[in-house]
Structure 1
Amino acid sequence: MKGTIFAAGISLATLTPLTAQQKPNVVFIVTDDLGYGDLSCYGQEKFQTPNIDRLALDGIRFTHSYSGTTVSAPSRASLMTGLHTGHTPIRGNKEVKPEGQFPLPEGTVTLFHLFKKAGYATGAFGKWGLGQPGSEGDPNRQGVDEFYGYNCQLLAHNYYPDHLWHNQTKIVFPENENGQFGAYSQDLIQAKTLEFIDNHGKDPFFLFVPIVLPHAELVVPEDSIIRNLRGKFDEKPYKGTDSGPAFRKGGYMSQEYPRATHAAMVKRIDAYVGQIIGKLKEKGVYDNTLIIFTSDNGPHREGGADPDFFNSNGVYRGYKRDLYEGGIRVPTIISWHGKIASGKESNFTFAFWDYMPTFAELLKVGSPKDSDGISILPTLLDKGKQKKHDYFYFEFQELGGRQAVIQGDWKLLHLDIRNGGKYELYNLASDPSENHNLIDLYPRKATTLKEIMKKARTDDPNWPLF
């Protein structure tokens, strides 16, 4: 049984690093609130994402992959620790004043520790949200050599902030004072991302790129991307927060062109991906780099965002904060030129907590002892026998508390738990959009999944669900 304060389960003393010749670089790109249908290689028809499409053609496009859960912090905690949200030390978005979120506890072993022990340089550039500056969850105390970006995910709602963090140094932007639009945060973060590749082109590196886009506030710099999109969509202007205490402290600014701006934000992500790939090729390391591109949860509906207009969740019901498929099923592309088959589509089912054992196997450092995950390396390299999960578990702390269990084609949802609760049962094979609740027709199946749901989580006083 896992403890309530979890020191994630890899004994670092047992790790044996690879030789220098065996070490592939790893670039892990996680977008923020990008929906399953927001990319043209996943069916987006209103705009194109050519760089990401090319990455998919050079690797595997997964159609049945899950994030950690349906909001940022616990989803990323699941990724970092190899644990689903019944066991992660962070299971919700909990703010810590004056800046930051509930921290990963001291002693947690993250993906960064795994790579550090294997002799890698590690970097994280974007949004953190796993522990306030100077806390035990601070990125520099969780195995990150270099961090640049937002420590606090609340402040990451806004793209013209008064400061970002470079390791322990607070970088202040006077050009953004008094409502000015001087320094666009994600462009600054992208520059540091490319600089990290420049600085470590001869070293094995693990580069974590938690891109802030297309989350929350809808705003982009005035450049050719947005100019080419304005006027292409019928718009519903959004009236937001343009002054007062919430201005650039979590509130969303007004936006006359919200649909064009969302498209521009996704296309900006696409441009960033193209730049990262270009830099890897420039340094001569592209063929020795495993690239993962995914999202932390489904699309949001804040700040004027309109996922229905863009069909951002594809055929799937639900959005961010839902445990329906639209809130947790995410686009995932994994590429490693010459090692992973190109142009392949896979419906193999896996989730964020599977990356920890996958990287452990890749680095030949032993399997995590307490991970909820399985290695997906056999699927990626088409070698060996691929294990499969017996079930997948998700929980969400807000909106009365929510749980979901998926076993095979069956999915059970437990909703509004703290207010009495209700259950819904779906067959994802026959009803991927979760339109037909079968709870009354298949009571025995529901009972089986309820038992799995009950056993899947460990009680934690920091995250009471009932």
Structure 2
Amino acid sequence: MWSGAASAAGTADPSPAGYPPSTGGAGDGPGAVGRRRPRGGRGGPRAVLGAAADGGAPEPSGLSERDDASPPRPDAGEIVTLNVGGTAFTTTRSTLAAVPGSLLSRLADGAPVFPLRDSHGAFFIDRDPSQFHVVLDFLRAGRQACLLPDSRPALVRLAAEARYYELPSLAEEADAEVLRLAAKPISRGLVLQLLHSSSDGRLQLPATKLCGLVLSFLRLVDSTFTGCDFAGADLSGSDLGRCQATFASFAGANLTSATLAEARLERSVFRSATMVRANLAGADLRSADFTRCDLRRANLTAASVKGALWGGATLEKAVVIGVDLRGADMQGLVLREANFEGSDLSGAVLRGSDLSRANLWGCQGLESADLEGCLLAGAILPPGVREETRRGSTLAAGAGPGAADAEGASGSWTAQVPARSRATSTSAFRGREDGPAPRQGTAPQPRQRQRIVWIMADDLGYGEPSYMATDSPHGRISTPNIDRLSSEGLRFTSAYTGEAVCSPSRGSLMTGYHTGHAYIRGNYPYDGHDLPLRNTDVTYAEVLRGAGYRTLWVGKSGLGWVDNSGAPWRLGFDYFYGQPDQAGCHDMYPVGYNGTDPAAAGRPTVFDNTTALYLPQNVGASRERCMQQGGGGCWYTHDAWTNKSLELIEQEAARQRAELAAGAQEAAPFALLVAYTDPHAGGWSGEQETGAPVPSDGQYGKEAWPDVERDHASVISNYLDRDVGRIVQALQQQGLQEDTVVFFASDNGAHNEGGHDVHFFNSSGPLRGYKRALFEGGVRSPSWIRWPGKVAPGTSDQPWAFWDVLPTFADLAGANRSAYPADIDGRSIVPLIDGSGAYNASERLFYFEFCTDIQPWVGGSNRKGWTHSLRQGDWKIVAFELDGEYMLSNLADDLGEENNLASSHPDIVQRMAALAKGQHTESALFPSHDCRPS
């Protein structure tokens, strides 16, 4: 039945007499149109993205096509010749059968789909032969060997022929290439103009050429980029969540820390792209091309990757949880410390890959995966496994789940493998022979996500830590612990708070929104307490708890009261110990309510979770009594917050050790928020704020300063600084410091209240303004981060803000991007923290708005009405009304915001004013035209 020339299968040998030369080989045949340029954008390889692996969910086209991981092996006994439109093509029956259900597959199975024969006995197909060589290339070796034509007419013909032969993937790829070739170039300026003029923030840019554009840190959620060419573009830090970008090309692009969660990216090209820490959770990546991609620390949780190409990709420390990798060809890849927990690896080809210290716990299908030659030192494997001997010839009884080899061993040779080794090959799990013998009974190597500790001061000025102090008229306030710890980590000189006052700043930290979009935009009096966060507000604690963290909060809240939606235990925290009420937080010696005294019922109260504490020792607290030797028996909130924090660290360390001893593969990490009230002005047992009431002035007791200034210096030196050191020391003592990232910040700028003069110690340093002002002195924080072994000591002037905390914590925890709203203003600063990728904030918008008139107790120079400010790059504007005149400063030249450049740069003022208005959504509670509460 099968006839044709007796040549090696799949070659382009001379055709039978009277036939034109065959186009069945790899070279261009008579139907080729010009040069076949490789695909991938701007000269990169252009391999077809049409084939899908067999089995699993159907392709979007409705047909399941050939499995590229296992190309057909021609059988010389099955050679067949086809006459397509008068041109002979020699191939094999197995090639024609490569895509089950297709027209050529049915021909290979003997169906009479082409009943006519030519004079040589070849099957006659009355179709255009010019693109049939592409069809055969696709059938022979799939996407990686198939090159598309270079012109639109040829691609249109190829799409028509592919559909005729019932190869929808090839047809769709040809259609996509038609879109790419038709893409029209667009400038970065026009992209930004369209984005800012869009009513819903979505771009509609199908088939657009955006090659090489700098589009970093943009919010492009729900936008349409079908068939777009982003080759070489910088999209680092941008949010493309839920975007429609099928058939798009990101070849060579910078997608570091970009968010592509739940995006539609079928058959898109990412060749040679940098995708370090990119968030691809839940994305549709079927038949995408990740060849030579840098996917270190990327998040692919629950992504659809059927038919994706991985050749040469690096997925070190990537999160690949719950992914269907059945039949995936991932051989020879760098997969060190990657987390494949719960993924399906049935039939996956991983031979020669580096899986050292990878987490394969809970993976399905390992018995059918090909792991020959893999590096498996320290890999965590499922329970019920066996250890294979070094020679790989037999399976010896294993010791159960755990590390495959000793940590730090050179080379690798074995892993603990599932007992049901596939019958066809007892060497499926054999590793390389160049490593040492295993340690019998080696304990499991646990994976441990980092713990998070956020220490927050209250009203600490930018220039008050001694390492930041400049020109203090009364000398620098001593902060040796803060100086030392910050020098061991990364100091930030352009870190922003969430607002210029307490509650909205903390709300921004919790929810990821700046005050132009947040619900809480001021210290708003509400039902005798504070305006609470709503039930619908997603907090960082909820995100972390959803990722398996224990969430703990000690100290000040100010985001609600115990009987409303702002109670800490309703905001995602497993444990709270502190003062929920904003005003009550400034009572440094609270008494509380004993449950019987009606006169004390309204007093601010300290809570241990939901239990109100009664502190009779603070009845009658005063400066004279509480500052006497021994503290006069007074209960000081700062000391209580510190002691509880130290207790929690010890308890959490013991819990984690117990969980690991019980066989857990990871001890649940914890996130601890320590929210001090220092050096905020406070009172003694409910009296009016009179500075910083401390039990001792310490070394400042002999200074000839006003009491309030001695107290101010002491609370920073002898309490805040001392106990920041004690908290870090506790982490060290419990052996937790290397897996714990410690943040330090202040909630807003220095205060000028309770008799304290902000100029006494030059608390704002080189900055203009202080608390409640939107100049830099009101919103910059003396922030730093310490993470031994992960963060190199240094100083960064890259700006970030409190609204970046939620996505940063989520990134550190490996949380799914869908766990929090896609429209938050924050962006993860993990690339800035650990250097894992580029972080460029030059185009980011740092927007603040504030109204002091909602606070009837504020007066004098602190009462300024409604103000707003915006920083982008080095430029900053400040205005005191929605449509008022702007002050323009260049922070690179004028950090103190002393010179108004508005008149000399009206174009910049106009542009930034428009950007600022675009960051403001009107609020009924905080109206810009009348910001007093109704």
Same fold (TM over 0.5): yes
- SS of the residue corresponding to residue 147 of structure 1 reads strand
Give the equivalent residue in structure 1 for 2:523. Answer: 93
**What residue ranges of structure 1 are gaps of 5+ in the alignment?**
3-8, 237-256
Q: Aligned pair 1:457/2:883, yes or no?
A: no
Deviation at 1:235, TM superposition (A): 2.1
Give the equivalent residue in structure 1 for 2:561. Answer: 132
2:610 pairs with one of 168, 172, 187: 168
Give the equivalent residue in structure 1 for 2:783. Answer: 332
Taking the TM superposition and a 5 Å limit, the aligned residue runs for 1:13-412 are: 21-43=447-469, 45-98=475-528, 100-163=529-592, 164-180=606-622, 181=626, 182-201=634-653, 202=656, 203-217=668-682, 218-223=691-696, 226-232=697-703, 234-236=704-706, 257-267=707-717, 268-342=719-793, 344-367=794-817, 368=820, 369-388=822-841, 389-398=843-852, 399-412=864-877
Deviation string for 1:171-192 (max 9, x for gaps)?
1111112345421111112111
Deviation at 1:340, TM superposition (A): 0.4
Deviation string for 1:392-411 (max 9, x for gaps)?
11011223111001111111
Q: In structure 2, what residue type is equivalent to 1:360? A: A
Deviation at 1:378, TM superposition (A): 1.0
Deviation at 1:221, TM superposition (A): 4.0
- SS of the residue corresponding to residue 79 of structure 1 reads helix
Aligned equivalents of 2:461, 2:928: Cα separation in 1: 27
- SS of the residue corresponding to residue 78 of structure 1 reads helix
- SS of the residue corresponding to residue 569 of structure 2 reads helix
Aligned equivalents of 2:551, 2:811: Cα separation in 1: 18
Aligned equivalents of 2:610, 2:526: Cα separation in 1: 18
Are the structure 2 counterparts of residues 384 and 227 from structure 1 closer, same or farther at C-alpha, using a change threshold of 3 Å? closer
Deviation at 1:437, TM superposition (A): 1.1
Which has the larger displacement, 40-49 or 263-272? 40-49
Deviation string for 1:133-173 (max 9, x for gaps)?
12111110001111111111111222111231111111111
Deviation at 1:304, TM superposition (A): 1.6
- C-alpha root-mean-square deviation of aligned residues, in Å? 2.1
Aligned equivalents of 1:222, 1:269: Cα separation in 2: 13
1:156 touches 1:212 (CA, 8 Å); kept in 2?
A: yes
1:96 touches 1:132 (CA, 8 Å); kept in 2?
A: no
Deviation at 1:200, TM superposition (A): 0.8
Q: In structure 2, what residue type is equivalent to 1:79? A: L
1:158 touches 1:216 (CA, 8 Å); kept in 2?
A: no
Q: In structure 1, what residue type is equivalent to 2:522? A: G
- SS of the residue corresponding to residue 21 of structure 1 reads coil
Aligned equivalents of 1:359, 1:338: Cα separation in 2: 18
Deviation string for 1:362-395 (max 9, x for gaps)?
2222335122122111111111222424321101
Aligned equivalents of 2:621, 2:715: Cα separation in 1: 20
What is the TM-score with the length of structure 2 in the denominator? 0.45
Give the equivalent residue in structure 1 for 2:364. Answer: none
Deviation at 1:220, TM superposition (A): 4.1
Aligned equivalents of 2:739, 2:751: Cα separation in 1: 35
- SS of the residue corresponding to residue 620 of structure 2 reads helix
Aligned equivalents of 2:480, 2:756: Cα separation in 1: 22
1:220 touches 1:264 (CA, 8 Å); kept in 2?
A: no
What is the TM-score with the length of structure 1 in the denominator? 0.88
Q: Which has the higher strand share?
A: 1
- SS of the residue corresponding to residue 903 of structure 2 reads coil
2:468 touches 2:782 (CA, 8 Å); kept in 1?
A: yes
Aligned equivalents of 2:534, 2:467: Cα separation in 1: 38
Give the equivalent residue in structure 2 for 1:250. Answer: none
2:494 touches 2:799 (CA, 8 Å); kept in 1?
A: yes
- SS of the residue corresponding to residue 42 of structure 1 reads coil
2:477 touches 2:716 (CA, 8 Å); kept in 1?
A: no
- SS of the residue corresponding to residue 519 of structure 2 reads coil
Q: In structure 1, what residue type is equivalent to 2:897? A: E
Which has the larger displacement, 349-358 or 63-72? 349-358
- SS of the residue corresponding to residue 446 of structure 1 reads helix
Q: In structure 2, what residue type is equivalent to 1:409? A: D
Give the equivalent residue in structure 2 for 1:243. Answer: none
Aligned equivalents of 2:646, 2:636: Cα separation in 1: 16
**What residue ranges of structure 2 are gaps of 5+ in the alignment?**
1-199, 202-240, 242-260, 263-280, 283-300, 303-320, 322-338, 342-445, 593-605, 627-633, 657-667, 683-690, 853-863, 930-934
- SS of the residue corresponding to residue 525 of structure 2 reads coil
Q: Which has the higher helix share?
A: 1
2:492 touches 2:795 (CA, 8 Å); kept in 1?
A: yes
2:678 touches 2:692 (CA, 8 Å); kept in 1?
A: no
Aligned equivalents of 1:438, 1:149: Cα separation in 2: 46
Give the equivalent residue in structure 2 for 1:447. Answer: 910
1:103 touches 1:135 (CA, 8 Å); kept in 2?
A: yes
Deviation string for 1:100-146 (max 9, x for gaps)?
31011102111101110111111111110111112111110001111
